[in-house]
Structure 1
Amino acid sequence: MTTAPTRRTPADKHDERRRELAESALRTLGELGYAKASLREIANNSDFSHGVVHYYFADKLELIVYCVRYYKATCVHRYDGVVAEATTAEGLAEAFADKLVETILDEAPMHRLWYDLRSQSMFEENLREAVVAIDKTLEEMIWRVISTYAALAGREPAMAPAVVYGLLDGLFQQALLGHLCGREDALANLRTEAVTLLPMLLTPAS
């Protein structure tokens, strides 16, 4: 007995096309940033016409919010493998620091876009809900790393999740800026600083 292939509904096809547009748009947005990337500019740098882009997204803001949600939904699990494979606190700290460096090397334009949009949300009210929600998922991602690190070290986190996230996010943003400015020591410093910072986020050893 053969199983009939699952038929895609119009809604499935619509969602698939929006994802394709998001993947294409993210490349342009990462290069140009929020202010310079219009729907027409995004279309000109993709395989889709301006009319097609406008059909699936009412305006640039809707497209950008969708793009960032789509991208961050995939990257919030970036450190899950590091956590799952860790057997010691020291090993987790080293692997986490390596991953921080790797993601800047591999995805600098996307991180640059994220920080651009987070700044823009201070002025663009319609961006705020998405930015706040994404920020929360990133905080939770970092907290999974820190809570596992604390458990392996036999200690407890000494700070609230938001504080831990703020500290590491600040280090990451500074390293990203240094990397984009061509500072040769930016990523090496990030790695060293991350490994040094993690023990400071825990209660004193008994």
Structure 2
Amino acid sequence: MAEVAETKQDRIARRQVDKFEARRSELALATLATLAELGYARTSLREIAQNSEFSHGILHYYFADKRDLLTHAVRQYEAVCVTRYDDVVAGAESAEVLARDFADTFFGTLKSDAQLHRLWYDLRNQSLFDESFRADVLEIDQRREEMIWRVVSRYAELCGAEPATSPSGAYAVLDGIFQSALLHSLSGVSDTVSRFENELTTILRLLVVQR
């Protein structure tokens, strides 16, 4: 009987933890737009509450501080975003089609989710100064690197070639282009963004080498 009672208590405890985590995720996603608009430095839990339907007390109950909320929110967003190129990779029948569809998606998300991408780079920059962010940032960065590598390795395969660099090297190149394009896009410098768009296929070719 004692074992049965203990098992029941364990199930109840797990359900309570699951409900708590589900509520954290719900709140993080609901406040993501405010976080993306204001950025880390200009945001506090109180300001987030004032710009959302949730009270400061609720946010403070579920999150220790704005760092906790910001990290959880970006994790939720990135869990979806790291699959953004999977359909492009799966549907590509040639290297040319893959390069075209990748470029369309690459710059399409740049425009449609600019504020959210800005929030990610804000979090990554903060990790240079705040050690408490680093483990989460490195984990998210690794998943983004794997996302890019799926594109590059499939492109190489379709070209009958091999990747000319490591996964981290390919990610550094393409992420650097994306971050620069984001900055120019937010600054209204459309000519530079257009140049990046035109050059992306050429850059993909530079990331592979013929066997």
Same-fold status (TM-score > 0.5): yes
SS at the partner of 2:161? Answer: coil
Counterpart position of 1:47:
53
* Distance in 2 of aligned mates of 1:29 and 1:193: 32
* Distance in 1 of aligned mates of 2:80 and 2:48: 22
Gap regions ≥5 residues in structure 2: 1-13
SS at the partner of 2:208? Answer: coil
Match status 1:137 vs 2:143: yes
Deviations 1:18-58 (A, max 9, x none): 12211122111111111001000111111110000000001
Q: CA deviation at 1:68?
A: 1.1
Q: Is this contact kept in 2: 1:101–1:190, CA < 8 A?
A: no
Counterpart position of 1:67:
73
| TM-score, structure 1 normalization | 0.92
* Distance in 1 of aligned mates of 2:189 and 2:129: 30
* Structure 1 letter corresponding to 2:106: L
Match status 1:169 vs 2:175: yes
Deviations 1:155-202 (A, max 9, x none): 000101111100001110110000000112243222212111001111
Counterpart position of 2:104:
98
Determine which of 14, 18, 21 is the counterpart of 2:20.
Answer: 14
Deviations 1:102-142 (A, max 9, x none): 10111000110111111110100000000011000000000
RMSD: 1.5
Determine which of 27, 30, 35 is the counterpart of 2:36.
Answer: 30
* Distance in 2 of aligned mates of 1:147 and 1:43: 44
* Distance in 1 of aligned mates of 2:21 and 2:192: 39
Report which of the two structures shows the higher radius of gyration computed on alpha carbons. 2
Match status 1:156 vs 2:151: no
Deviates more, 1:176-185 or 1:14-23: 14-23
Q: How many residues align?
A: 199
* Structure 2 letter corresponding to 1:80: D
Gap regions ≥5 residues in structure 1: 1-7
* Distance in 2 of aligned mates of 1:166 and 1:12: 36
* Structure 2 letter corresponding to 1:14: F
Name the CA shift for 1:22/1:186 in 2 (closer, same or farther; >3 Å). Answer: farther
Counterpart position of 1:4:
none
Identity %: 54
